[in-house]
């Protein structure tokens, strides 16, 4: 690329040098012209001799154009209408710098002969040559300038724009599009470095993605494996609570069982979140009668705080295990953050059965409602000192979407409410 710039400047220097030299030569080549008195005398004598037949002068050859006026300043003869244009009287010729000579025969005035001034003719020819040469030089300079601009645009501006666009693609995370490298590109080294950087970023991103996937797989595996011993602990607690008669020990066993339920819920949330990231949080919907919802509420309402209204008879399209997980999450949150009675009501809403689960706690701030279903988000109220992962409502919302339903959070002065829109079959 630098060779191209060097070659252009050498060419431009040579062009300017040749142009100036040519202009000087043209300007200096104009010959010094003098009035040829012998030729002028020959013209005057010829006019005298042929004054009665001026057209006979056409047979003669002179080294100059001539214009002849009679004694009354009327044009008798002219060898060039172009040279003597606008010359109507001898006075006009004088004003134009031409040579005027009277033709006398003794004391008789016959007329006036006009010839161009040789110095003026030479000057005009020199000016014409200079104009021509200057025009050619200017044209060459313009062509050279346009060629240089094209060269700069092709080899500097366009590659720079491509690098700018490439940087934008990298900022957007689009690392699969290579940067085109050209031989004459002034940014050739930088272009190659940029593309190496893209390859490294792409490889780094792939390694990061693979590492995250392995982490998710590990979390899913551990969550799944931990559920087995936790389930065993719950079963043992169930047996002990039946056999132990001591009320103090019985209360402790029930407390252990409650903690294992919370651990089981957290493990379910972690497993569902990991499976969601791995694209494996599956939902298998079947047709179920609406009374299944009451069964699931009683199954998860271990403290008996839920009061259910009448459930309309209908057929629902849902995944029993997933809807159970959703209802369990919502009731568990009510226990944890509100610790009040829970009102559950049902009504038809278009092609859905709407299930409303309301507690009577302090609720959440209105600006937080849309954030509650975000992953790992926990509300600001009533969460201090309480365990939680911020995954429950996120997973519940995602599961409802996979079942072609919807989860809606509402908070007002009466408490916090979750509405589940469950599709009708």
Domain boundaries, the chain: 37-116, 190-272, 282-423
Q: What is the mean pLDDT of the chain?
A: 79
How many CA within 13 A on the CB side of residue 107? 0
> With contact defined as beta carbons under 8 Å apart, do 118 and 40 qualify?
no
For the ranges 50-64, 215-229, 309-323, 361-375, the maximum mean pLDDT occurs at 309-323
Question: Given this model, what pLDDT does residue 5 score?
Answer: 60
Question: Given this model, what pLDDT does residue 317 score?
Answer: 95
For the ranges 64-68, 187-191, 203-207, the maximum mean pLDDT occurs at 64-68
Q: Whose CA is closest to 36, among 78, 73, 66?
A: 66
CATH number at 190-272? 1.10.287
User: How many Å apart are CA 123 and CA 117, to the nearest integer?
Assistant: 10
Question: Given this model, what pLDDT does residue 288 score?
Answer: 94
User: How many Å apart are CA 141 and CA 11, to the nearest integer?
Assistant: 11
Region for residue 33 given its phi and psi (left: phi exceeds 0; alpha: psi -120 to 50; beta: otherwise): beta
Region for residue 73 given its phi and psi (left: phi exceeds 0; alpha: psi -120 to 50; beta: otherwise): left
Partnered with residue 6 across adjacent β-strands are none
User: How many Å apart are CA 99 and CA 33, to the nearest integer?
Assistant: 13
The secondary element (H helix, E strand) that includes residue 387 is: none
Per-residue confidence at 274, pLDDT binned at 50, 70, 90?
low
**pLDDT tens digits along 228-249:** 677 678 778 877 887 888 888 8
Question: Given this model, what pLDDT does residue 136 score?
Answer: 82
- pTM over the 0.85 mark: no
Q: Which CATH architecture has domain 282-423?
A: 2-Layer Sandwich (3.30)
User: How many Å apart are CA 369 and CA 227, to the nearest integer?
Assistant: 31
3-state helix vs strand vs coil in the chain, percent to 5: 55, 15, 30
Per-residue confidence at 154, pLDDT binned at 50, 70, 90?
confident
């Amino acid at each position: 690329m630098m060779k191209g710039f060097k070659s252009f400047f050498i060419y431009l220097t040579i062009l300017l040098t040749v142009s100036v030299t040519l202009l000087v030569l043209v300007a200096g080549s104009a010959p010094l012209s003098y009035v040829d008195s012998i030729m002028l005398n020959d013209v005057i004598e010829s006019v005298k001799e042929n004054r009665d037949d001026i057209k006979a002068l056409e047979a003669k050859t002179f080294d100059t154009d001539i214009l002849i006026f009679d004694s009354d300043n009327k044009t008798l003869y002219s060898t060039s209408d172009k040279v003597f244009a606008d010359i109507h009287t001898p006075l006009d010729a004088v004003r134009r710098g031409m040579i005027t000579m009277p033709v006398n025969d003794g004391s008789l005035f016959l007329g006036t002969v006009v010839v161009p001034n040789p110095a003026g003719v030479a000057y005009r020819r020199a000016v014409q040559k200079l104009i021509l040469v200057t025009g050619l030089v200017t044209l060459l300079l313009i062509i050279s300038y346009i060629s240089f601009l094209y060269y700069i645009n092709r080899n500097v501006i366009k590659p720079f724009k491509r690098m700018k666009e490439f940087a934008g693609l990298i900022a957007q995370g689009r690392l699969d599009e290579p940067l085109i490298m050209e031989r004459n590109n002034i940014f050739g080294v930088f272009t190659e470095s940029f593309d190496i950087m893209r390859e490294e970023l792409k490889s780094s991103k792939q390694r990061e993605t693979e590492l995250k996937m392995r982490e998710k797989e590990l979390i899913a595996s551990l969550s799944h494996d931990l559920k087995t011993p936790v389930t065993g602990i719950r079963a043992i607690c169930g047996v002990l609570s039946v056999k132990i008669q001591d009320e103090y020990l019985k209360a402790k066993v029930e407390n252990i069982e409650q903690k294992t339920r919370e651990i089981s819920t957290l493990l379910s949330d972690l497993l569902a979140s990991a499976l969601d990231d791995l694209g494996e949080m599956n939902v298998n919907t079947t047709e179920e009668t609406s009374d299944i919802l009451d069964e699931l509420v009683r199954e998860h309402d271990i403290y008996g705080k839920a009061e259910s209204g009448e459930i309309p008879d209908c057929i629902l399209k849902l995944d029993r295990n997933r809807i159970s997980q959703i209802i369990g999450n919502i009731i568990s949150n009510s226990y944890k953050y509100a610790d009040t009675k829970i009102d559950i009501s049902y009504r038809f809403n278009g092609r859905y059965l709407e299930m409303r689960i309301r507690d009577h706690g302090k609720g959440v701030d209105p600006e937080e409602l849309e954030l509650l279903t975000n992953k790992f988000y926990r509300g600001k109220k009533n969460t201090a000192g309480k365990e939680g992962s911020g995954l429950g409502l996120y997973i519940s919302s995602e599961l409802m979407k996979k079942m072609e339903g919807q989860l809606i959070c509402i908070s007002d002065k009466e408490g916090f409410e979750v509405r589940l829109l469950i599709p009708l079959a």
